[in-house]
Amino acid sequence: SPSQKMKVGRGPSSSLQGIQKHSGAELLTLPAGGSKMPATLESVASGQHFIKMNGRAVFRFATRVMADATRKVLERAGLSVDDVDLVVPHQANIRIIQSSMRQLGLPEEKVFINLQDYGNTSTASIPIALTEAIEQNRIQPNDTIVMVGFGSGLTWAGAAIRWGVPTERETTFWQSSQHTAAYNLARARSQLLRISRRLEGAFTSEDGATLAELMSKRFSRRRKTTEENAPSAATESKETEGRSDEEGSQG
């Protein structure tokens, strides 16, 4: 398959070895919406604008390339798996991460995982995980860090880094509180979205109507019924008043 080597960075405090590759585009695709198949009423109606994925094939692919890419970047850097201090993988699927790391013989304490907090954040997953690893003191100067991931295309890439960036920085109590609050809000928002999706799925009718749509229809029917009954109620009231007037005059 086609490949592209990344340039090796040289500097007083850090170095980089990396590799990028791609193949297997048919395993994870978005059939319509581009120049090859522009959007039409037919393509929308047939669901061609939804992602199509061969889940089993992607799982096998991901576990293989995550392990292979890690080995290759370490080999190019003149290192072995035993030299790795921490692996920061793409946070796509916990089983993919665990399976690929088992192939490498890496213990759990050498793999950073925050998938349980944020889910799959796509291209942001490794930067987020790297940031949290630093904040949790999982990375120290001169540590050997491997970042490895995969995505649609199918593409995969890995990088072996000798960490040379200072990990300690002075922060005020206010800054620390802001960061903590932001993370907690993001986590709460993610959980609320998951709950809302589950509720929406649980209350979706057979014809595809959501709970909100069903409630809206029910409210509309009630309002229509009320409006239809309102004139008859007014007529009955007038008739009652008329009878009362007649009885009064007779009396």
Classified as helix, coil or strand, 168 is coil
**149 and 213 inside one domain:** no
**26 and 110 inside one domain:** yes
**16 and 84 inside one domain:** yes
Structural domain boundaries enclosing 22 = 3-162
Q: Please tell me whether the peptide bond between 154 and the residue prior to it is cis, using omega within 30 degrees of 0.
A: yes
Is 169 part of any domain? no
Nearest to 88 by CA among 131, 45, 59: 131
Local confidence pLDDT in tens for the 251 residues of the chain: 334 443 333 333 344 555 555 567 778 888 888 888 888 998 888 888 888 888 888 888 889 999 999 999 999 999 999 999 999 999 999 999 999 999 999 999 999 999 999 999 988 999 999 999 999 999 999 999 999 998 877 888 899 999 986 656 667 888 888 888 988 898 888 888 888 877 776 666 566 566 567 667 777 777 777 767 665 555 555 555 555 555 555 55
Contact 151, 22 (CB under 8 A): no
Number of folded domains that form the chain:
2
Half-sphere exposure of residue 115: CA atoms within 13 angstroms, side-chain side: 16
**31 and 154 inside one domain:** yes
Is 170 part of any domain? no
**Residue found under tokens 């509720």:** 199
What DSSP string describes 49-84? TS-EE-HHHHHHHHHHHHHHHHHHHHHHTT--GGG-
Helix ranges, the chain (H): 41-45, 55-76, 94-104, 115-118, 125-135, 173-202, 211-250
Cα distances (Å, whole numbers) of residue 182 to 17, 123, 125, 176, 179: 34, 20, 17, 10, 5
Is 168 part of any domain? no
**27 and 134 inside one domain:** yes
**147 and 236 inside one domain:** no
pTM of the model: 0.57
